[in-house]
Structure 1
Amino acid sequence: MSGDLLPLLFVTGLLGWVLVSFVRETWSPDIVAGIAVAILLATQLLTPAEVLSVLSNPAPITIACMFILSAALERTGCIDVLGEWLGRRVGTSPDRVLAGLILTALAVSAFLNNTPVVAILTPVAIALARRASTSPSKLLIPLSYATVLGGMLTMIGTSTNILVDGVARKAGLEPFGMFEITPAALAFGAVGFVYLMLFSNRLLPDRETLSRQLRPDLGRTFMSELLVPHESPVIGKTLSEANLNGGSGLQVLKIFRGEHEFTEPSHAFALAAGDLLVLHGKVRDVVDLRENGKLAFNRGEAFETVSNHDVVLVEAIVGRNSRYCHRPMRDLDLTARYGIAVLAVHRQDENVQSNLDDFQLEFGDVMLVEGTPQQIKRFADNGDLISLNTVNERAYRRDKAPIALTTTLAVMALAALGVMPIEGLAIIGSALVLATGCLDVEDAYKAVEWKILTLILGMLAISIAMDKVGLVDAVVSHTVALLPHASPLVMLGFVYLLTTVLTEILSNNAVAVLVTPVAIGLAQSLGLDPRPFVVAVMFAASVSFATPIGYQTNTFVYNAGGYRFSDFMRIGIPLNLLMVVVALIVIPLIWPLVPA
């Protein structure tokens, strides 16, 4: 390793820029990592051979294959069957619904990627909440937290476990067994279950979903775009005569007629067929206009082709692989392709109901969509959307379910028995589900989180540069100097706390790559066994409860449940602190800190 101070300072500054960029979200994390690697190559602090050497790490290929196996189980309806079974078993008691949802999510997430588990169980949770006369916001954060805790149960439960194991192997540690972490993770899961059962109802708010927010009887005002139909009784009338001049509670802000735009039109402005009105008013007033045939929601040329009794309003959440992401809605041409209308879009605490043409959808956005059930189903299926009002009736390949389930269980069992390393078994398993038709090749490519893999590969290259210039050793030596008389348990707590705090503001996979070498170096410098320190990083990089941005499942339910940022802090910070206590008790019991 180079002992020169200038390379050390440069890499330290570059790493600082990477972390700040992650927080500021100017670019996506994978792009930030790629830029950092390019800078390291340009400055010759990394060679091309060193960058390409990250491909020899088994973690990325294992994670990609586990994404495919999870998608096969989802596509063959295995998770959907669990959701149906849960709905039949929990009844209408809010406590039974909460317990059943948490336990189901815990069990399933031990073997599957937790994001599709949350995606499929979210509509189930909303339906169960309605049956139990409770709010979905009482269930969706516990659902997300349960999948996070469930992912800790096995080595394939989450990409973080696989990644930390891969980094540890590169450092010379023995690979983790498939169920080596299960006893400790069960303690985390049990404590988390009790906490959520006791405090979810007390700490979580009664939040409204988007469709409830727009119910006519709530009287909420909003911005909307409406058209004048060809047979509307307001054609030829002025805004004043049509009672759209503000006296009725409705105020027309703009009118678009062909290529012309009229801002703040006068009371004497005469309406014509095809005019597009941007107005402000109460939902009940807008609904009255539509029911009376005066105006219609903006559906382009298709707005008059659907009879009123066929039309339904449905909430749909944008999935992680949706083709609708990051494109202006005008380019999606939803009316021409599907005949549906997007009436509103909800993002975090903001309902977006105007200028929808320029709006770009993102993962986790909730859309209020109007159309026939058939149109909405086609729209959701083609765009990887999840209906929140009804469980999406996909054409599952249920006849292939035994193959997908047996393959996944075989991968786990053979890995636990040491027949072959998990990466080899995962490759065989993913090839098998593709060859047997459990999953199409196109679906397999969509199932892989390419942004996560790119971020992992970039961070692995950055970690090589950190080690090469001596940054890891410098961090370890300074930590030991700051805590010269700290006990091994205090050092373990320091590693756990550092990891969990960083995970709340950064990508958990990025944190795992950065902190694992430091944890190993710190343990070795103190003459301690590095294995429990690696486990601390593994667990702390998963238990992200205090913010909606630390983990993908939290981001997913953030909008679906109508939550605010503070809702996660209120219930998540105490749970994070509780997990610290559990870690300091359980980890040393299973993995002694001092080598025998």
Structure 2
Amino acid sequence: MDSPQIMILTVLVGTVALFLWGRWRHDMVAMASLLVCVVLGLVPTDAAFVGFGHPAVITVACILILSSALQQSGAVDTLTRTVLPQSAGPFITLAALSLLAALLSAFMNNVGALALLMPVALQIANKQGVPPGKILMPLAFGSILGGMTTLIGTPPNLIVSGFRAGLTGDGFSMFDYSPVGLAIALSGLAFVIIFGRFLVPARERAGAEGFETGSYLTEARITEGSKSVGMLLRDLNTELEKSDAQVIGLIRHERRIPAPSPYRELHQNDILLIEAEPESLASVLSALDLTLEAEWRSAEAERKAQEALEAQKEAQKEAQKEAKKEPGKETAKAQKANNAEKKVDLPDDVKADSKSTAKTDRKNDGSDQDAEHKKALQSDDVSLIEVVVLPNAAFIGRSAADIRIRSRFGINLLALSRQGQRSMTRLRTMKMQAGDVLLMQGSPAAIGEFGSRMGCAPLAERSLHLADKSQAFRASAIMGIAILLAAFGILPAAISFALGVLAAMLLGVVSPRTLYDAVDWPVVVLLAALIPVANAMESTGSADLIARFLLETIAQGNAVIAVGLILVVTMTLSDFMNNAATAAVMCPIAIGSAAQLGASSDPFLMAVAIGASCAFLTPIGHQNNTLILGPGGFRFGDYWKLGLPIEFIVVAVGVPMLLWVWPL
């Protein structure tokens, strides 16, 4: 190996290791990998950012926008209610849901398809007394299987097509993936529908109200006059056990006590970190005379804001009196009035709420207090709604305090459920992760606005979004025309779907103001950064080096075994790292393997496309697996029980189909 090969392989190993570690976001790792390659001279400086103009990247962004248009217009909601049986048994319902998820995922973003169908699935599970995970996992796997059947079904297919275009001058067309993809998808769906209910662990007792999200971590404050003041923690825990709850932490004077002594006496303003089931929260709070921390902070913010306002008014009156006697002192009194509200000794986020309230009070001459948000919180329409944090949501890595959830949206975060983990972090400062289930308090409209802006999906049946049937028709027609233009080769896919986005904007289907909110920017950056790195693997001969090693040591020069090997290696990597990143890493190796064997590159590239889409063993392999983790009550090790047989089916069906449809 020469120096460039050693350097690019070192970068590749480091990149894959960071992807598997998962501490940093995939787009950060990809960009770091690109910049290291530029610094080392492996990627020319003038070619560092050519990936951002790559057709695959443009197509992915456009597909996400058009998918969002289908969702927001209500077109998918209409299809869902038309296709799904209203009164059928668990087997028929599961089959219909899984097939619909696969169909939608073939032509739109599969995360969006799952997010739309998940509330329907949860409602059906509740009606039929079935643990939600029994429906959610087959639904998620069905959406993943459906994505491999078309060019636009999943980003790896677009990436593979881009590498083929770079090699031969012509990428794969819209339905080139369909013969192999459909055979695998139908085989996998048949297995999921028939055997899924037996292999998916039941994480909730049948017949339970609602759905199981695991225990919530909730903060409750001991307020003045509470019966809990003076109690020993041991006695309080005895009372909590009656509601199947427990105290797992104590916060006193903003200092966390992770494992408090059972003989510690409780004081006023102590904050208890309580682990409880959703259904028992109310009884826990009422039995011990506790107050939810979020509600206390809301009330305290309003009280302090009112005090500040009254103090300011009093100071202004004094200033006016002094002005009549000694006009020169008016400025000092006025300054005192302006500073009155600054004497509030509260945490930063509560101060922000107080300032927001006081500011609105002054503007309205004291007649309304923080009109919109107070109305939202005190309205008779206040609800408790559970939402799940979607993959790549704007909320990920941020806390309720970071985004000022109350002052911006008029809602409270009451509790959080995170499967398999217990955190001692304060609820308001806890950094969100994909799959977290949040219990929100506020008006449905306010929570809906929060969800759409911050990337959270409600875990309840939603009302139909269809405000105008013509909008749904336009969105469907635009997507259909764009697909036809790309499918028949009239226009390249990137141009076809870009025209679709422009048409959607001109016809008012997509608001220009919210256009870019629909784009999954971390995925776009990931793809754009890794494309030059993959090109460096080819130009340095490193891809051929890896391919030669795999062929000589494992495949023994057998092309059939080599295709199967590429499929298995890609599928294994995809179970632990982002599927788009997996495709970008494996495509040069697949091309190198074909060149070493003197075979066509098409079956090898198609093996990469299939393998990158088949992540069924872990909750981190695919975004849809992460999305059902909390609502299904799953654990990390629950996925392989259904996922491993599906991966065997993928290999058993995929390899013969690849060799038949795409001969060596």
Note whether the superposition's TM-score is higher than 0.5. yes
The alpha carbon displacement at 1:182 in A equals 1.2
Aligned to 1:171: 167
Closer/same/farther in 2, CA of residues 447 and 526 from structure 1, 3 Å limit? same
Matches within 5 A, 1:295-334: 295-298=290-293, 299-302=295-298, 312-320=383-391, 322-334=393-405
For the 8 Å contact 1:140–1:561, the answer to whether it is kept is: yes
SS in 2 for 1:426: helix
For the 8 Å contact 2:216–2:416, the answer to whether it is kept is: no
For the 8 Å contact 1:321–1:447, the answer to whether it is kept is: no
Aligned to 1:95: 91
For the 8 Å contact 1:223–1:354, the answer to whether it is kept is: no
For the 8 Å contact 2:390–2:434, the answer to whether it is kept is: yes
d(CA) in 1 for partners of 2:126 and 2:292?
28
Gaps of 5+ in 2: 301-373
Matches within 5 A, 1:360-399: 360-391=431-462, 394=465, 398-399=469-470
d(CA) in 2 for partners of 1:402 and 1:285?
45
The alpha carbon displacement at 1:583 in A equals 0.8
Closer/same/farther in 2, CA of residues 537 and 280 from structure 1, 3 Å limit? closer
Aligned AA (1:544): A
The alpha carbon displacement at 1:381 in A equals 3.9
Query: Which of 118, 127, 145 is the matching residue for 1:122?
Result: 118
1:287 and 2:279 are equivalent in the alignment: no
The alpha carbon displacement at 1:582 in A equals 0.5
For the 8 Å contact 1:344–1:369, the answer to whether it is kept is: yes
The alpha carbon displacement at 1:239 in A equals 2.4
For the 8 Å contact 1:317–1:386, the answer to whether it is kept is: yes
Aligned to 2:320: none
Query: Which of 77, 90, 101 is the matching residue for 1:80?
Result: 77
d(CA) in 1 for partners of 2:139 and 2:555?
42
Matches within 5 A, 1:14-413: 14-87=11-84, 89-172=85-168, 174-208=170-204, 224-228=218-222, 234=226, 238-240=229-231, 245-246=236-237, 248-249=239-240, 254=250, 256=252, 271=268, 275-278=269-272, 280=274, 287-288=282-283, 290-291=285-286, 294-298=289-293, 299-302=295-298, 312-320=383-391, 322-350=393-421, 355-391=426-462, 394=465, 398-413=469-484
Closer/same/farther in 2, CA of residues 301 and 525 from structure 1, 3 Å limit? closer
Closer/same/farther in 2, CA of residues 308 and 349 from structure 1, 3 Å limit? farther
SS in 1 for 2:48: helix
For the 8 Å contact 1:92–1:131, the answer to whether it is kept is: no
Deviations 1:217-257 (A, max 9, x none): x9x98753223567xx637x842499965553478764657
For the 8 Å contact 1:290–1:296, the answer to whether it is kept is: yes
SS in 1 for 2:572: helix
Aligned residue pair count: 578
Query: Which of 575, 580, 600 is the matching residue for 1:504?
Result: 575
Deviations 1:94-150 (A, max 9, x none): 101100101111111111010100111111110111122211100111111111111
1:489 and 2:484 are equivalent in the alignment: no
260-269 or 551-560: bigger deviation: 260-269
Closer/same/farther in 2, CA of residues 296 and 337 from structure 1, 3 Å limit? farther
Aligned AA (1:114): N
The alpha carbon displacement at 1:289 in A equals 5.5
Closer/same/farther in 2, CA of residues 10 and 133 from structure 1, 3 Å limit? same
Aligned AA (1:494): L
d(CA) in 1 for partners of 2:216 and 2:109?
38
The alpha carbon displacement at 1:477 in A equals 2.6
For the 8 Å contact 1:65–1:430, the answer to whether it is kept is: yes
For the 8 Å contact 1:60–1:457, the answer to whether it is kept is: yes
d(CA) in 2 for partners of 1:249 and 1:547?
35
The alpha carbon displacement at 1:291 in A equals 4.1
1:463 and 2:521 are equivalent in the alignment: no
Closer/same/farther in 2, CA of residues 140 and 478 from structure 1, 3 Å limit? same
420-429 or 77-86: bigger deviation: 77-86
For the 8 Å contact 2:218–2:416, the answer to whether it is kept is: no
SS in 1 for 2:510: coil
Aligned AA (1:376): I
Closer/same/farther in 2, CA of residues 310 and 295 from structure 1, 3 Å limit? farther
SS in 2 for 1:472: helix
d(CA) in 2 for partners of 1:537 and 1:459?
16
Deviations 1:237-290 (A, max 9, x none): 842499965553478764657x7999879887664xxx3531557668763354
The alpha carbon displacement at 1:552 in A equals 1.1
d(CA) in 2 for partners of 1:221 and 1:428?
47
Deviations 1:27-63 (A, max 9, x none): 2121112112211211222211232443453111111
For the 8 Å contact 1:302–1:336, the answer to whether it is kept is: no
d(CA) in 2 for partners of 1:307 and 1:54?
50
Closer/same/farther in 2, CA of residues 117 and 243 from structure 1, 3 Å limit? same
45-54 or 94-103: bigger deviation: 45-54
395-404 or 556-565: bigger deviation: 395-404
SS in 2 for 1:349: coil
For the 8 Å contact 2:108–2:153, the answer to whether it is kept is: yes
Gaps of 5+ in 1: none
Aligned to 2:608: 537
Aligned to 2:658: 587
- Give % identity: 27
d(CA) in 1 for partners of 2:542 and 2:186?
38
21-30 or 340-349: bigger deviation: 340-349
Deviations 1:456-511 (A, max 9, x none): 12111111221222101212332333257543221211111111111111221112
238-247 or 475-484: bigger deviation: 238-247
SS in 2 for 1:224: strand
Aligned AA (1:98): L
Aligned AA (1:239): G
d(CA) in 1 for partners of 2:215 and 2:143?
37
**Normalization by structure 2: what TM-score?**
0.79
For the 8 Å contact 1:345–1:352, the answer to whether it is kept is: no
For the 8 Å contact 2:217–2:417, the answer to whether it is kept is: no
Closer/same/farther in 2, CA of residues 592 and 256 from structure 1, 3 Å limit? same
Closer/same/farther in 2, CA of residues 281 and 554 from structure 1, 3 Å limit? closer
140-149 or 293-302: bigger deviation: 293-302
Which protein has the larger Cα radius of gyration, Structure 1 or Structure 2? 2
The alpha carbon displacement at 1:171 in A equals 1.3
Aligned-residue CA RMSD (Å):
3.2
